[in-house]
Amino acid sequence: MTATTPTKTKTVLWTAANAAAAANARTQGPDWAATGVSIDSRTLAPGDLFVAIKGPTFDGHGFVASALERGAAACLVSHVPDGVGADAPLLIADDALAGLEDLGRVARLNTAAKVIAVTGSVGKTSTKEMLRACLAAQGPTFATEGSLNNHWGVPLSLSRLPAGVRYGVFELGMNHAGEIGPLSRMTRPDIAIITTVEAVHLEFFASVEGIADAKAEIFEGMSRQGTAILNRDNPHYARLLAAARTQGIGHVLSFGATAGADARLIDLDLSGAGSDVTAEIQGQVVRYTLAIPGRHQALNSLAVLLAVAAAGGDVTAAAATLATLAPVKGRGVRQVVDLPQGGGVTLIDESYNASPVSVAAAAAVLGHIQPAPGGRRVAALGDMLELGADAATLHAGLADTLVAADVAQVYTCGPNMRHLFDRLPAERRGGHAATSADLAPLVVAAVRAGDVIMVKGSAGSRMAKVVDALKALSSSTSALSGS
């Protein structure tokens, strides 16, 4: 078996020699060079180094042969898998995941990029994508793909970091205490953003204050020369500020509508499609359009502009870039779905995840969208997970928010969403089902031309099933028309 020659137009990230040195591993087979790193043989690109991670339900060693057949430059393993020959290009470490972590640490050491890390109860990925866009317009930029923000995703992202970029943007996530600290020490951010602290993952915390402390672990990998960027409007701002100071971080900036914030929201004109923002960024008045709707997104854009400034970028140019953004998949992407009976509905896909604060924010955005004549505002909501003993109360508490947004019909699924459904005025109860699969046909049967429908729920609620069922209506329309 021979090593795959990487595509010439791609940057070589790892050679057999430097990867072996970084991961304290030995090599087998021919020399090789990798232009990417992957932990999934299904999405692996030719030239990638495949890392055979052993997870709770799978062992990547079982996919090594497949990865090599798909064009992997080499595979990082903890043992030679059955069926893989002695001529296969392998990097053999004591532990494959530890080897990946070592690759990430060395990649971080090898770059002079300004590294920005983003965490928070909500808004991490959207904020990371705003940063990616703003910084990429000003210099070579690398950012976490999707939501690779856990103990696998962060070292994987770091291992993909090219040495020559000017900016690196990484998302750090958690649902237990003690998870962000190691990720921060691996990432060693120059700048850290905490978007907000909210009642998320309460199943694993005694209080929201405990969540704030877990988010503050992002400071553990920072030097005294680092910059922390905090939400001044959040009730836990003082706690986070104290944590940053305790960690020795001398430069702390804040954002929000609160007087005294370093990036302060002065005026906000919200619409269903975006926002016109007037802000004061470290004494400079900046006016810009944000192409992603929602007050929460406007506030996070202030954190982005502070981070751009802290990284040495051009704030005015970054503000202009914000007008060009598009929502991230599953986090507000919109499309018009044609109905078989004629007309169409506007579908807002918020199916990636949900918490009380993010559902409230999405409902507020829905409330700013005017349905077409004859249409209604409709919400299809799945259970919000990991809320612990307060789950029933937190679900029911969204009823007033949905009424205030003038959502005419609410469809729900899951045992906890039943509490919300029962709390709603009778005329706003569209229907309830046990699962998203059961809910999907109810929603499909009920939508009518002109509706605006928002679909949201925690990832485990699988609300993408409802999104897919609605999208399929367009396919039905095409089939009926013979196109």
- Contacts for 2 with CB less than 8 Å, ≥ 6 apart: 30, 87, 89
Burial 169-208 (b: 16+ CB within 10 A, else e): bbbbbbeebebbbbbbebbbbbbbbbbbbbbbbbebbeeb
| 142, two tokens | 């690398």
- Do 438 and 315 share a structural domain? no
Same structural domain for residues 151 and 212?
Answer: yes
Residue 1 lies in a domain: no
What's the pLDDT at 6?
43
SS3 for 73? coil
* CA-to-CA separations, 420 to 372, 423, 430, 437, 463, in angstroms, rounded: 27, 5, 12, 19, 17
Return the pLDDT at 56.
85
Please report, for the domain that includes residue 73, its CATH number: 3.40.1390.10
Structure tokens at 352: 């990636």
Residue 457 sits in a domain whose CATH number is 3.90.190.20
- Rounded distance, CA 463 to CA 382, Å? 6
In a domain, 166, yes or no: yes
Asked if 357 and 459 sit in the same domain, the reply is yes
Residues 203 and 119 both lie in one domain: yes
Instruction: Tell me how far apart the alpha carbons of residues 144 and 154 are, in angstroms, rounded to a whole number.
Output: 8
Residue 464 burial (CB count, 10 A): 20
- Which residues have CB under 8 Å from 116's CB, separation 6+? 131, 167, 168, 169, 170, 189, 190, 191, 192, 193, 307, 311
Instruction: Classify 370 as helix, strand or coil.
Output: coil
**Contacts of 177 by beta carbon, 8 Å cutoff, 6+ apart:** 204, 205, 210, 213, 214, 217
Residue 4 belongs to some domain of the structure: no
Pair (37, 88) in one structural domain: yes
279: helix, coil or strand?
strand
For 288-302, write each residue's pLDDT tens digit.
Answer: 999 998 899 999 999
What is the predicted pLDDT for the residue at 475?
Answer: 67
Specify the number of domains making up the chain: 3
Are residues 281 and 369 part of one domain? no
Is 371:451 a contact under the CB 8 Å cutoff? yes
- Provide the Cα torsion 279, 284, 287, 289; round to 10°: -70
Q: Which residue has the tokens 């508490």?
A: 397
Mind giving me the DSSP string for 111-150?
Answer: ---EEEEEE-SS-HHHHHHHHHHHHHTTS-EEE--TT--S
Q: CA angle at residue 476 from 473 to 478, to 5 degrees? A: 115
Q: What is the pLDDT of residue 479?
A: 37
With beta carbons less than 8 A apart as the criterion, state whether 61 and 79 touch. Answer: yes
CA dihedral 58, 64, 65, 66 (to 10 degrees): 70
Report the mean per-residue pLDDT for the chain: 93
Q: Which CATH number is 118's domain given?
A: 3.40.1190.10
Closest CA to 51 of 60, 349, 59: 60
Q: What is the DSSP letter of 308?
A: H
Answer yes or no: do 293 and 406 share one domain: no
Q: Are 365 and 293 in contact (CB under 8 A)?
A: yes
Q: Apex CA 118: angle with CA 115 and CA 121, to 5°?
A: 170
Note down pLDDT in tens along the chain; length 483 residues: 444 444 446 899 999 999 999 999 999 999 999 999 999 999 999 999 999 999 888 899 999 999 999 999 999 999 999 889 889 999 999 999 999 999 999 999 999 999 999 999 989 999 999 999 999 999 999 999 988 999 999 999 999 999 999 999 999 999 899 999 999 999 999 999 999 999 887 788 989 999 999 999 999 999 999 999 999 999 999 999 999 999 999 899 999 999 999 999 999 998 878 899 999 999 999 999 999 988 999 999 999 999 999 999 999 999 999 999 987 777 888 999 999 989 999 999 999 889 999 999 999 999 999 999 999 999 999 999 989 899 999 999 999 999 999 999 999 999 999 999 999 999 999 999 999 999 999 999 999 999 999 999 999 999 999 999 999 998 654 333 333
Question: What are the CA-CA distances from residue 428 to residues 68, 159, 206 (Å)?
Answer: 55, 50, 34
Give yes or no: residues 360 and 296 share one domain: no
Based on the domain organization, do 304 and 337 belong to the same domain?
Answer: no
- Same-domain check for residues 304 and 352: no
Sheet holding 263-270, edge to edge: 141-143, 167-171, 114-119, 191-194, 227-231, 251-256, 263-270, 275-281, 284-290
What's the CA gap between 231 and 51, in Å, rounded?
37
The residues, any chain, with a CB within 8 Å of residue 103's CB and separated by 6 or more, are 14, 19, 22, 23, 37, 76, 155, 158, 159
How many other C-beta atoms are found inside a 10 Å radius of the C-beta of residue 423?
Answer: 16
- My answer on whether 155 and 91 are in the same domain is no
Give yes or no: residues 58 and 133 share one domain: no
Given a contact cutoff of 8 angstroms between Cβ atoms, the answer to whether 370 and 272 are in contact is yes
Query: What pLDDT score was predicted for residue 1?
Result: 41
**Buried/exposed code over 13-28 (b: 16+ C-beta within 10 A; e: otherwise):** bbbbeebbebbebebb
Question: Encoding tokens for residue 379?
Answer: 């919400």
Domain of 398? Answer: 333-481
As a whole number of angstroms, the distance between CA 365 and CA 272 comes to: 6
Q: How far apart are CA 28 and CA 91, in angstroms?
A: 6
Structural domain includes residue 126:
yes
Q: Find the distance separating the first CA and the last CA of the chain, reported in whole Å.
A: 47
Taking alpha carbons only, the member of 418, 417, 455, 414 closest to residue 435 is 414
Distance CA 425, CA 376 (A): 16
pLDDT of residue 476: 54
Domain boundary among 324, 344, 370: 324
> Cα(453)–Cα(248) distance, rounded to whole angstroms?
47
